[in-house]
Amino acid sequence: MQASITGGDELSRIERVAHNRSGLWVAIVITIIGLLVFTGIFNFVIPGLGDNLSGTPLILLGMVLSLVPAAIWLFFFYRLDRLDPEPKQMVVRIFLMGALVAAALRDPLINGVFDVRAWQYNTWWGHLFGGILIVGVIEQFLIYATVRYVIFEHPEFDERVDGVIYAVAAGLGLATVLNFQYVIRSNGVDLDIGSVRMVINALGYASFAGVMGYFIGQTRFEKTPIYYMPGGLALAAVLNGLFWFLIDRTIGGGLRPNPWGDLIFAAIVAALTLALAFWLIERANEETLRVAHQKIREAIGMTPAPVPATVAPAAVATGASAAALGQESPAAPAATTSDAPAPAQSDNDGAESGTESGPTATPKENAE
C-alpha cells in the first residue's frame, strides 16, 4: 500500500516538475513590449519630464524610475502567469535578495578586488574576456547563489520552470541595483536616455539570468553530470560578457552612442534567450513524461499480471500505464474488464511491481 502511494506521489511529483506553462510565452512578449512602451513614454510622450529638476529631486525621480523596468517585468509575468503563478511574496523576496546581494558584493568584487574599470577598456580582448571571466562570472554567480540559497530547497520551487522565474527575479534585482548606482553616480539622469539605459539593463540581466535559471531548474529536479551546472553558469557568463561587449563597442569603436539600436538589440537578445530557455524546458518536460511512462510500461512488463488469452499483454501494459496516469486509453477497458485486476486498481499489484501508480496520480493533458 505504502509503495503504491509512494509511486503515485512520485508520478505526481514528476508531473508537477514537468508542468508546462503556456502563459509564459505570452508573458515574455508582453513584458518586452511593455518595457519598450515605457521608454517610448519618456522619450516621445513626456520627453521634458525632469528638465526643471536637479539635485536630490532628480536623483529621487531617477531612483523611482529605476524600479519601473523590474516592476513592469514582474507585474506582467505575474498577471499573465495567473493560472498558476509563483507566490508573489517569494518572487519579490528573491528580487530583493538579488538586489541586496548585488549591492553588497558586486562592486566590491568587480571594481574593488579586480579593479576592472581601470583596465577592462584598455584593449578589446581585455574588454571581452574581462567582461566574461570576471564581470560575467561574478554577476551570474551572485544570481546563482541568490536562487540556490534562498529558494532552491523551498517547497514552492516545485517546477522546472521555477528556476527561470526565480533567477529572472534575482537578475532584475541586480539590474535595479545597477540602475540605482547609475542614477546616483550621475547625480540624476536625463530621464529619456536614462530610461533606455535602465531598460537595456533589465532586459540584459533578465535574459542571462533566464539561461542560468534553466540550468538551476534542471539541477534541482534531475541527476545532472558534474559539468552541467558549471557549464550553465559559463554559458550565462559568456552571454553576459558578449552582450555588454557588443553594446559598449558601439561607443568604444568611435561610433556615436546609439541607445535605440542598443535597446532593439537587447530586446531581441532577451526574446531569443528566454524563448530558447522555455523551449528547452518544454522539451525537457516532454522527455521527463516520456521517461516516466516508459518506466511504468517497463515495470509492468517485468511483472505481468495473469492475462486472459483474449487480451494481449501489450494492451494490458498500455491500459495499465494510462490508468496509472489517470488517463483514458483504448486498451484500458479491455484490461479493466478482464478477470485480472489492473495494476492501478490494485494496491498489492502496485507494491509488487513497483509501478508508479496510485491514488494521487492526476490527469495530464499532455501526457502520452
Partner 1 sequence: MTALLARLAKPSVTNEPPTREELLRTEIAVIVAVLFALFLGIGIRNNAVNNQRTVRLGDGLPSIAVPAGWITGQPEGTLLYARSPRTRSLFNTELTVTTRELTGEATLATVRTGLALQRTQDLLRYRELEARSVTVNGQPGILVTYAYVADPTRDQGAIAPPVVVEAQDLLFTAGNSVVIVTVAADATLWDEESVYAGLIHRSLNVRQVQGGGE
Give the residues lining the site for partner 1 (CB under 8 A).
14, 17, 111, 114-123, 125-126, 129-130, 133-134, 137-138, 141, 144, 148, 218-230, 233-234, 237, 280, 283-284, 287-288, 291-292, 295
Q: In whole angstroms, how close is the CB of 314 to partner 1 at the nearest point? A: 23
Report helix, strand or coil for 159.
coil
Q: In whole angstroms, how close is the CB of 35 to partner 1 at the nearest point? A: 28
Q: In whole angstroms, how close is the CB of 260 to partner 1 at the nearest point? A: 24
Q: In whole angstroms, how close is the CB of 91 to partner 1 at the nearest point? A: 23
Which residue type, as a one-letter code, is found at position 335? A
Q: In whole angstroms, how close is the CB of 215 to partner 1 at the nearest point? A: 9
Residue whose CB is less far from partner 1, 282 or 347: 282
Contact criterion met (CB below 8 Å) for 262 and 196: yes
Residue whose CB is less far from partner 1, 40 or 252: 252
Q: 38 exposed, middle or buried (CB, 10 Å; 0-12, 13-18, 19+)?
A: buried
Residue with cell 534531475: 222
Contact criterion met (CB below 8 Å) for 203 and 70: no
Contact criterion met (CB below 8 Å) for 235 and 211: yes
- Rounded Cα distance between 30 and 308, Å, is 57
Residue whose CB is less far from partner 1, 69 or 350: 350
Q: In whole angstroms, how close is the CB of 288 to partner 1 at the nearest point? A: 5
Residue whose CB is less far from partner 1, 53 or 307: 53
Residue whose CB is less far from partner 1, 42 or 221: 221
Provide the 10 A C-beta neighbour count for residue 130. 21
Q: In whole angstroms, how close is the CB of 117 to partner 1 at the nearest point? A: 5
Which residue type, as a one-letter code, is found at position 354? G
- DSSP letter, residue 85: P
- Rounded Cα distance between 157 and 284, Å, is 17
Residue whose CB is less far from partner 1, 97 or 137: 137
What are the DSSP calls for 12-26, one per residue? HHHHHHT---THHHH
Q: In whole angstroms, how close is the CB of 12 to partner 1 at the nearest point? A: 12
What are the DSSP calls for 294-343, one per residue? HHHHHHHHHSPPP--TTS-HHHHHHHHHHHHTT---TTHHHHHTSSSPPG
Which residue type, as a one-letter code, is found at position 339? D
253 — phi, psi (to 5°)?
-80, 5
> Which set of grid coordinates corresponds to residue 317?
501494459
Contact criterion met (CB below 8 Å) for 211 and 232: yes
Q: In whole angstroms, how close is the CB of 132 to partner 1 at the nearest point? A: 8
Containing H/E element for 148?
Answer: helix 137-150
Residue whose CB is less far from partner 1, 53 or 280: 280
Residue whose CB is less far from partner 1, 69 or 326: 326
Residue whose CB is less far from partner 1, 78 or 152: 152
